[in-house]
Amino acid sequence: MKAEIRRRHPEQLPSFQPENASGKRIAVLVLGDIGRSPRMQYHALSLAQAGHHVDLIGYAGTQPIEAIRSHARITVWHVAIPRQLSVASRTMLLMLGPIKVMYQILLLLWLLLVSIQKPRYILVQNPPAIPTLFVAQLCAWLTGARLVIDWHNYGYTILGMKVGMSHPAVSLAQRIERLFGRNAFAHLCVTQAMADDLKRNWGIRGQLVVLYDRAPRHFKRLQLNELWQRLLQDPQLKPLRLMSAGNKALLTERSEDGTIAMRQARPMLIVSSTSWTADEDFSILLDALKRYSKQASDASDGSLPPLAVLITGKGPLRKHYEQEISRLQLQNVGIATAWLSAEDYPLLLGSADLGISLHTSSSGLDLPMKVVDMLGCGTPVCAYRFACIDELVTPANGLVFSSAEELAQQIEQLAISQRSTSAGLYSKLIQGAAEFRNVDWETNYKRVLDLL
């Protein structure tokens, strides 16, 4: 059991320091890749910066942000699941799922009750609900800790996307999630719609707080010199590098006296971030780009600029869509796929002209973190329309679409507006995205610190 738990910086031993008058011991539990869980990393960092000692527990994989790795009050605990139990197919999921759950229960119980110092609070991400909520409830009861559940979505709805909502396993998962998710010291929700649903349909007990995702303060629009230094340095971006030449970068150019300015006939840089899963239909974006390519080729006045499209992320469907992209024969559109570090990702968003989100919610009650990041960098957004997206994307900072045709029209409209000399739609959205940045994660998090 001990061999499956790895501690990130044992030399500092913060997990066994006594609590001071202001700092509390807080366990932050996310049963997923810590490096790909930005909200839980921000929780841990904000709590540590407030003087608390944090044990951040989750899977290894993507490296956490540098601020997490170097903070003396944060200990990262990586739990490992045997590869044989990590399966993707529906049949194997139903067969090995119960074995994996029992393994996770034993592993987490050992870690929360033996490996770390007794916490005063346990902050757990949901989903996954199984077995996290049960383990968190049991450990909170045994240790006397206060439980805080951070509701990102409903786990049973995600399972329903894999096996079908009518499957008996989904009904069982829903009952388990309701049973162990109902009672807690506090419930944090990513949307008002989710808070309303929990209150109305789940009989939630405990304090209910809407904590919207917000980008941290270092997310920002890039300056021209930063664009010159950062763009196209990564070999993954080779397809976009072909759109620049000589002393010209993708978006900027350097004059003979060394002055850097935006290129006159530069492409429009579009960024889309994805986990390459079934809840994001990327064929919509590819179809929209084909429509744009045709329109740009037919426009004799050159009113539609070329597009440089960068799609970031990791996930099971990445190779499938990369093969589709390689078969496209598009004019005036360059497409690259890449995985960027946590440090480089906001630099990319801060240089983009437009962000596109294809996220659809399994419950209809959560919001895409990628859109928060885009707006946090001052980049306007086109987002796929679903139930509560208007809590994040408004007419002031973005547009919503329901089809490839609608998305293609929006890209054309914004591309033309961006190059207009008079203030138009694009200028309005840029201003709205800048205003979105007025409330960052650190400012928003004060309400959570008040709970503690």
pLDDT tens by residue, 238-254:
677 666 655 556 666 66
Predicted confidence band of residue 80 (pLDDT cuts 50, 70, 90): confident
Omega within 30 of 0 (cis) for the link into 127: yes
* Segment among 30-39, 363-372, 380-389, 415-424 with least mean pLDDT: 415-424
CA 441 vs CA 218, 320, 406, 446: distances in Å: 10, 35, 32, 9
71's tokens: 């903070």
Predicted confidence band of residue 5 (pLDDT cuts 50, 70, 90): low
Q: How far apart are CA 68 and CA 76, in angstroms?
A: 8
Predicted confidence band of residue 21 (pLDDT cuts 50, 70, 90): very low
Q: Which of 437, 358, 357, 360 is nearest to 396 (CA)?
A: 437
**Residue-averaged pLDDT of the chain:** 85
Kind of pairing between the strands at 74-79 and 307-312: unpaired
436's tokens: 């979105």
**Half-sphere CA count of 215, side-chain side, radius 13 A:** 29
How do residues 264-306 score in pLDDT, each as one tens digit? 678 899 999 888 877 788 889 999 999 999 998 887 777 788 8
CA 72 vs CA 11, 20, 48, 49, 111: distances in Å: 10, 15, 9, 10, 20
Predicted confidence band of residue 412 (pLDDT cuts 50, 70, 90): very high
Q: Which of 240, 105, 262 is nearest to 176 (CA)?
A: 105
How do residues 327-353 score in pLDDT, each as one tens digit? 888 888 989 888 887 778 888 888 889
